[in-house]
Structure 1
């Protein structure tokens, strides 16, 4: 049977207030990317998320970001590589302290996009994950979009795994439509579920720009529904049902 991972960004509490229905999402996903305190989350939310993941049999990933709680990690920061590495080290250590068995690392927000094109920041991320890998005694994969980060991961001896987004619009370049621009978010569980099946079976997603029918090709091993997207729970449930109907098992690859 074909398999695909379904992940969501969870544990993203702000001042103790959850931004998503974590209880419902943990029952649907196979992997959870847990906020580590950079953009959201704290010791209590991390411990809660790790415990929920264990009960649900969900793989835990780290979801570090720029140190930008005020902006939820959505503004790009021009940090020196050493400063960024130190922040990432602290975030990964915090999630380990919460009892997490970190199976992968997926950067959040602006950092996720910056490391597609910024080699210095990509190397800082890869260096932090390499440090985590040394601590754990196994190579921890980086989950993301192709670019400088995939090159930096390879140079650091780390696996790189490609991800595709079910609730975000794509440009023909393979980048996501910036938040706030037309086509940035997908709405409707049926639409998102159909995209999931096409990604899992054909490895393509339709772009919002270019000629009608233009697609982005990807060999993504993991599909993401953002936990804080409106209707995220209904979307994730519809995705699971549609994938099952297509004979595709949802299972973590880590």
Structure 2
């Protein structure tokens, strides 16, 4: 039986001005896809240009990580937006990053929502439709990264967009397959060995242990390791090494 192939992605370009978050260069040496901020939740133009250039030098795929317009809250606060406003905001963000990527010698090859927007469109069909419509309007060939079974994927698939289900290496799961809110204790995992073992189970067996102790099915074509988590580089390295040891091929999905 052939071993699976999986993508490894991380959220990058999330510094702003003199403020730096995470080690983008180190993460780019590990991952196969970079979810690059677009300036609405994090990232300034010079920083995003630098990350796109660094990704291009390493042949790491660049994705637009779109979000609510919420710099102060790092995009982790829900915003009740009119669908047409949300669509315009997402189009704007993809376009901005695409210009920076082109100047850096690469291109935006997929779109991934960030933070509160990501979680909202798991169930909110109106906002899911708005985000999917934005991606389709920019380029219907762009895949979208998100949660399997989400309203976002349903909206994207109705428009003919390719959907790529991802799993989170360092986030806890609820029994219904959604992520545990960051406001709850234990939502973010830190034990490197435990995280590597969880990812091996998700990729190899299609299963993950939820917070209530149950084991739930999970569909994964890409694994996310958060670039802003404490010990992010160590976690990403351990995940990559474990998958390689299991015979899993690490390869971008685009």
CA distance in 2, matches of 1:116, 1:50: 28
Aligned counterpart, 1:58: 60
For 1:218 and 1:141, the matched residues in 2 are separated by: 19
1:75 Cα deviation after fit: 0.4
User: CA RMSD of the aligned region, Å?
Assistant: 1.1
CA–CA distance in structure 2, aligned partners of residues 243 and 224 of structure 1: 13
**Unpaired runs of 5+ in structure 1?**
none
Q: How does 1:184-223 map to 2 (within 5 A)?
A: 184-209=187-212, 212=213, 214-223=214-223
1:67 positional shift: 0.5
Q: In the TM superposition, what is the alpha-carbon distance from 1:90 to its structure 2 partner?
A: 1.0
Q: Which residue of 1 aligns with 2:235?
A: 235
Question: Any runs of at least 4 consecutive aligned residues in structure 1 with deviations exceeding 6 A, and if so which?
Answer: none
| TM-score of the aligned structures, taking structure 1 as reference length | 0.94
> Matched residue of 2:139: which SS?
helix
Say which SS state the counterpart of residue 164 (structure 2) adopts: strand
Tell me how far apart the structure 1 counterparts of residues 120 and 228 of structure 2 sit (CA, whole Å): 21
Distance 2:224 2:50 in 1: 21
1:159-215: CA deviation from partner (whole Å, max 9, x where unpaired): 111110000000001111100312201112111111111111001111002xx3x12
Which residue in the other structure is 2:31 paired with?
A: 29
Q: CA deviation at 1:2?
A: 2.4
SS at match of 2:188: coil
- Provide the rounded CA distance (Å) in 2 between the counterparts of 1:140 and 1:178: 28
Q: Distance in 2 between matches of 1:2 and 1:220?
A: 10
Aligned to 2:156: 153
TM-score by length of 2: 0.94
Cα drift, residue 131 of structure 1: 1.4
Alpha-carbon separation, structure 2, partners of 1:45 and 1:36: 10
Q: Is the 8 A contact 2:16 2:47 kept in 1?
A: no
Counterpart check, 1:113 vs 2:115 = no
